[in-house]
Every structure is written in structure tokens, then in C-alpha cells.
Structure 1
Amino acid sequence: MDYKDYYNVLGVEKSATKEQIKKAYRKLARLHHPDVNPDNKVAEQKFKEVNEAHEVLIDPEKRKKYDQFGADWQRYQQQPGGAERGGRPGAGFDWSQYTQGGGSQGQGNPFGEGEDFSDFFGSMFGNMGGGRAGSRRPAAGADYQAELELSLEEAYHGGPRTIAVNGKNLRLTIAPGVADGQSIRLRDQGGPGRNGGPSGSLLITFRIRPDARYARTGDDLTHDVPVSVYKALLGGEQTVETLSGPVKINIKPETQNGTRLRLRGKGFPVYKKPGEFGDLYLRLSLALPQHLTPQENELIRQLAALRPDA
């Protein structure tokens, strides 16, 4: 069985950070995803390899074990009679230390002839060391990852959505208030288990598109509201749009540009806390009139003359 270079599969250095590994995985998973490459066996195999590499390198314990194994593999390859010469491995390597729970054969060769090993991953993390009996033990399937893009309004209201993963359409109900980058786990929707083991999970990460009207900070929203200079000076009533519908607000006389108003409970719903909402902050900006008539110009001059220091 050939050694798999998981770092090479993801295209990262051995010193790569967890975030760099995640970034590389997401890029390659999208590139080779079966939904993007239907009926493409090469892409399907690459997708499986990328998932396998990510599962090992993102887990600190598995990565440590894999890195240690890789160092011993290089030593094995370089010694006389090694795999590059077609011979059996030499003495001095306790390969059983790399199998789950050790191995029944002590210092045996994990790549020995006649062993019924499923793959390289199963060899290191799936009880390979116990021989044929060990290889038939149940093992959980790999976790899959997907992203679901939502508008701000869709995240606000929640509701049913359908997402296609590995050729299957999965229907899920989104709770109102999900945040950008938040993930949910769907059990038994990942890779199939081996030898009767449970299926893996599907991790769905939400991506919320920016909205031109509202800026979101946690469960609070900020909305810019233009106000005429006349209403700012004299006061009055104005209707503003919110994600829950139109609301009437009162503008106080002599309201200054940039004034902030707080509407309690008109912000974003608090995730999985029905009836709880953040606040909506209105930032008032004065809208100056344009295309003044001669009469308007004259009236403004008269007003200015009354306040020469203004």
C-alpha cells in the first residue's frame, strides 16, 4: 500500500496552520465536489482524497500520529531492502504503534502480504493492526462540508430550504437569526460508514450576503434614513422600512444631522430564542433640497439674514 502525502493532497506546507488547512480544503472541496462535476469519477476520487486529508490534518491527534508515521516511513524507504527496491521492510520499526489499540502481531509490517486492509487511512486510524478481524470492525464515515448562501432577509425569517449534496437534495428548516459563518450539523448525511459503522455528518456553513440597507452587528441592525431639512427643522412624522415591516417614527424639531434613534426589538431575531430580537438603530442624515426655485432662494436668503452668525 502506497504512502499518502496528505499535505500534498491539500497543497499546503507541513507547517501549515489550522486556518490555512481549512482554507485549502474549502477551495479544493468546491472544485472537485460531485455536484459541480456530475459523473466525473476522477473528480469524485479527488473529492474523497481531499476529505480524507482534511479529516487527518485538521485533527491535532491524528495529525501528530500521521507526522510521526511519515518520518518513520522515510527511514523505512531509505534503508536496504525497502519498498523502493521491492523488498520487505527491515527490522527496527514497530509499525503496530500506528494502529488503533496496537496490533496483535507486535513488530510486524503494516503492509505485509495477505492483510485485508481497506486503505491508507484505515490502516492508521481504523484498527488495521489486528489483521483481517481488525479490518472488519465498524468505522464511522467521513464528515462532509457544504456552504449555503442566504440573503439578510432569508436569514432573518428562516424557514425551509433545499441543498444539494453529493447528488441528493436535502430539505432543512433554518431557524431565524443565523449568522454569517455559523455552522449546523446534520447527522448521518456524511460519508457511508465501513463494515456497518455509522455514517458521518454533514456540516453546513451559512454565508450571509451583505445588504445595501442594513449593517448587522450581532443581533442589532443599523439603517441610514434620509430626512428632509424642513422636517429636521420643524419636526414631523416619517415612515421607515424595517425587516418586519414599515414603522412610523417622530422626528423632533431641530434634529441634527447624524442623530441616532433606537427602535427596541426591531433588530435581528436571536437565534433559537423565539420572541427575542435585537435593536434597530436609525442614523438620520439630512437630505438637502436641489433645483431651488427663485422664490425658494429668496426665502432662504431672508432666513439667512435673520441668523447672520449661523
Structure 2
Amino acid sequence: MDIDDLAQRIQSGDRRALARAITLVESGRADHREMAAELLDRLAGSGRQALRIGLSGTPGVGKSTFIESFGLMLTGQGLRVAVLAVDPSSARSGGSILGDKTRMERLSRDRNAFIRPSPSQAQMGGVARRTREAIALCEAAGFDVVLIETVGVGQSETMVAEMSDLFVLLLAPAGGDELQGVKRGIMEIADLILVNKADGALKETATRTCADYAGALRLLRKRAQDPEGFPKAITVSALEEHGLERAWDEMQALADWRREHGHFDARRAEQARGWFEEEVHLGLLARLERDPALKARMAELGAAVAEGRAAPARAAAELLAALEGR
């Protein structure tokens, strides 16, 4: 694979080259990881920057419908939109359906849109393991907005907020005790709450639900990186395409305010440092897997912990000491 040629094609907006590059960075083969690192290094100086929007929500809330309607609105304004949709992987077989393009049929045919489904591969945080690298590739390809859809909300599925500029939480009306069901940790990191399905018989219910969330948000401690009034909750209808422009206006207003006050760049720098630290952690684990002696010692210690003959903390310290001696 010619990395220079691939990098040039990505920067020229070649969608096929972008798809091939994302496949490369998602590969776990050692030689592919080296090529992926070289490719990302070549593209690091492109200077292109997209607005990264993370989107999470309970299953069935209408994330795919919202992304399609919202994406079509953005492409209608002349913007180029990339969608990185993370599909849950089976804990038994490891497989994923990867059917997001079929759920966003209209958007998938738009020349200014790019949809890439990726398997979560049991990765915690609701995102795929190489989502950060896929985002960097989409930015280098010249996309204006990158939407990162997670597999759904949960206690640990907040990692998407650590790789996006804005974190949007999509909720449904009449969700029962959903105000408590949606975890406080997610509420605290949400920049914008969108109550979807505000149409038909659910319109009035959605309005009440939105008011409940707005009240709950006012009880949270104000964050330094937010202007007055944020985070906020508004109603939208992805089906009837109502409220999408207002949602986009709110996102732009928040992003612009953060840029003006230095929070935007500071957040990007912190995210880059976090990406580096995660790569170090993954590299150390990979080194344990590659070294036969360390791998065998890890298996021995793991068996000792499972049988109750050793404490996990002590076994981990012993393995790290063996790693330091290499």
C-alpha cells in the first residue's frame, strides 16, 4: 500500500480512499498498525478541522432517523457530513450487523455525506476502538461536521464525550422514570439534550418531558466551559424535521463561544493527550501479548487470581515488575 498516494487521495476528498484508510486503522495486524500510524502522521499537518458532535441515546429513541434528517439538513446548506456509526458487537460471536446505511438510505446517497458503520468490538464507552483515528481521517478528508453515534447510553458509555467537541443526548418523551434512568454522569456531560418524537400524539408529552429535563439541568453545577443557559434541553422531531435548525443553531452558538473563550482548543489539546495515553496503555497490553514469557506469566498469575491463591493487585504488580525487567 502506497501511504503517500493514499494520503493525497484522502486530502483530495476521495471517499473510496477514506473508506480504505478507516479499514486500515481498524485492523489489528501489526504491519497494518505501523502503516496506519504512518498515514495519520502524514495527515496530522493538514490543518483541517471539523466540528465533532457525539450523539448518544437510549435504544429506539430514533438516533438513526435523527442523524439522517439532521445530516440532510446540513448537506442542504452545502456542508460535508461524515457519520461514524458504532454498531454493537455480539459478546458470543463477536459479529455486528453494520446496517446503519440501510437505516439512513437517503443520507447514504447524498454526495456530501459519508457513512461508516464500525463494530464496537466489545469496547467500553459506546464507541469503536479506533473511532478517534477515523475522526482524524474524516477531518483530513475535508468534512465540515463529523457525527459520532454511540451504541446507546449506559453507565460507562460516556467516552464519546472525550473525543467530540459537543455531546448531544437524544431522549424520547414519555419514558417513564427516565429522568432517573438516564445516568447522572451522562446528564453532567451533555451539552444539549434533544427530546425527539415531538410530533403527533406525543408532541404535548415531549414538551412536558423537555421542561422536566430543563429543570433538572438547572440543578446541576454550572461548568466553566459553558455560557449562560447551557446545557439546555429542546424538542425536535426527526420524522417531521422540526426543530433541527434550532438544534444546529444552538450547537454552533456553543461551539463559537467556546472558541472565543479558549475552551475549544484547550479541550482538543486535552483530548489529544488522552488519545496518546490510551495508545500507551494499548501498546503495553500488546507487548504482553507478543512476548511469550510474559504471556505465559500473565496466564499463570491469572489462574492464581481466579483460584484465590493471589490477590489481583499483587498479581498485577508482579506482572508489571516482570515487564520492567525486559
- Give your verdict on TM over 0.5: no
Whose helix proportion is higher, 1 or 2? 2
Q: Tell me the TM-score normalised to structure 1 length.
A: 0.28
Which structure is higher in RCO with an 8 Å CA cutoff and minimum separation 6? 2
Which entry has the higher C-alpha Rg, 1 or 2?
A: 1
Whose strand proportion is higher, 1 or 2? 1
